[in-house]
Structure 1
């Protein structure tokens, strides 16, 4: 007798949503209460690091984003890994040559903690073009965990998305809303200027930006609901939403205008496109985005 596995892992569904988790107010209350413990305590570019500049963090976190996209990691992995990196940089000065090593180590820890498919050390070494070794990442894993005092169950912007969307009727207006909001959260975590921004505010801004980009009719109501449930100032939220929209305009390519004189061109670089030009989702002006 032959046994055939017909399960398609690419399309396997997640567990059904638990109405208790998404309706109980204590969940969001606990997230809001705990998030302060995991926000980086200082602007480490000015107070701790002498060899690290904001643009360096941007380069490394963008690389981390690309690794997660290529490996199809769960959405929570990148924000969690970058949170580890920022908190580590608040307490330990490093050289610029060690920043990618730190990013790779944080991806390893985050994938072990939250992912069903762990990013291996060998894989991460390959993504650094072997500029770091297996032993480097192994030793830094212990260093990072010790500096974080093993507090790795951090609250990130990812944790708020479903909690907010599932509590209001406008969360069902578009099946793309959740996907776009998660993508925006990942993009926001690569921005150096948002290092000390509370995750609840980042999540709220990403949800509102996604709603506006999808042109949902409940835009104004959703903004009021988000401010109410997360105890946010509407002005602060609006400012961050506009900032998020500006970020997306920079990193997401717009749909090119058709030119009848152009001929079809093959994909360059042996069929590989950089993730910078192939973002899977974007929440602003969806009809103008070229996928």
Structure 2
């Protein structure tokens, strides 16, 4: 007898949210009680690290995000990898030459926690152009696990989204749209270390508020409270802090859009210069051809 299966070849299925867990207030309360346990020290650049600086972390975060996107990882993989990275750097002075190695180890651990098919050591080494070898990755995996005390089930901002959105009583299509935009805001906050001063629940709440405001979606609240007061009541945060977090997220979005626009303008300028050089090359051979990627490094 042939068994019918809804699985798509090459695509892993993921279970949807459990309504019983979403309707149980105790689950949200447990998340709120546990989130501080997995929060990194916000002062580790001043108190622990001597070689590692915030711009280096940002560069590494963008690279980790690109690897996760290239491998089509779940969105939680990036946030979880950065949580491991920050927690490790909070307690262990690290040389900057080891930063990429630490980052790739964190991706590996996060994928093992969140993916049904974790990323392979071989593929991760390829992303480093073989500057890191498999045996180094495996050795550092044990080191990082030891420093994290094997406690890898960290509470992330993503964990709060479904619970908070449920209280907004939105139609299904609007809920999915708000969640999708809020996830993008969370990733933006994860890249920027200045958001580490906020707990994951507040980043999730601020991201939802920013998403709803950007999409012009109004919550269907029975109490009739303003959105900020409604969201603050769900997670037990202060309204002023929530509004400040939302405004900071919106400012970070504007800054990120400005950087993207500036980067695109530079790319167009480089392309036009390259085209001009190509025309000149046809007229007169260049004696020292230059790789543009080397100039950009």
TM-score > 0.5, shorter chain as reference? yes
Whole-Å separation in 2 of the counterparts to 1:200 and 1:5:
37
Question: Which structure's relative contact order is higher, taking Cα pairs within 8 Å and 6+ residues apart?
Answer: 1
1:227 aligns with 2:232: yes
The answer for the alignment partner of 2:31 in structure 1 is: 31
State the shift of 1:135 in Å: 1.4
State the shift of 1:168 in Å: 2.6
Q: Deviations over 1:201-228 (max 9, x none)?
A: 1111111111111111339743222100
Whole-Å separation in 2 of the counterparts to 1:242 and 1:48:
30
Number of residue pairs matched by the alignment: 257
The answer for the alignment partner of 1:66 in structure 2 is: 66
Whole-Å separation in 1 of the counterparts to 2:72 and 2:24:
31
State the shift of 1:11 in Å: 7.5
Gaps of 5+ in 2: 262-270, 272-297
Give the structure with the larger helix fraction: 2
The answer for the alignment partner of 1:161 in structure 2 is: 161
Whole-Å separation in 2 of the counterparts to 1:239 and 1:166:
23
Larger Rg: 2
Label 1:252 to 1:4 Cα distance change in 2 as closer, same or farther (>3 A). Answer: farther
**Alignment map for 1:34-49 (pairs within 5 Å):** 34-49=34-49
Gaps of 5+ in 1: 256-264, 266-291
Q: Deviations over 1:4-26 (max 9, x none)?
A: 98843577764343221001110
Label 1:234 to 1:156 Cα distance change in 2 as closer, same or farther (>3 A). Answer: same
Label 1:133 to 1:210 Cα distance change in 2 as closer, same or farther (>3 A). Answer: same
Whole-Å separation in 2 of the counterparts to 1:87 and 1:206:
23
Label 1:177 to 1:142 Cα distance change in 2 as closer, same or farther (>3 A). Answer: same
The answer for the alignment partner of 1:242 in structure 2 is: 247
Whole-Å separation in 1 of the counterparts to 2:163 and 2:107:
24
**Alignment map for 1:128-139 (pairs within 5 Å):** 128-139=128-139
The answer for the alignment partner of 2:57 in structure 1 is: 57
The 10-residue stretch of structure 1 (48-57 or 168-177) with the greater mean CA deviation from structure 2? 168-177
1:143 aligns with 2:143: yes
TM-score with structure 1 length normalisation?
Answer: 0.81
Label 1:12 to 1:90 Cα distance change in 2 as closer, same or farther (>3 A). Answer: closer
Whole-Å separation in 1 of the counterparts to 2:248 and 2:206:
9
Q: Deviations over 1:156-190 (max 9, x none)?
A: 11110111112330364613111111121112111
- CA RMSD in angstroms comes to 2.7
The answer for the alignment partner of 1:189 in structure 2 is: 190
The answer for the alignment partner of 1:211 in structure 2 is: 212
TM-score with structure 2 length normalisation?
Answer: 0.79
Label 1:173 to 1:250 Cα distance change in 2 as closer, same or farther (>3 A). Answer: same
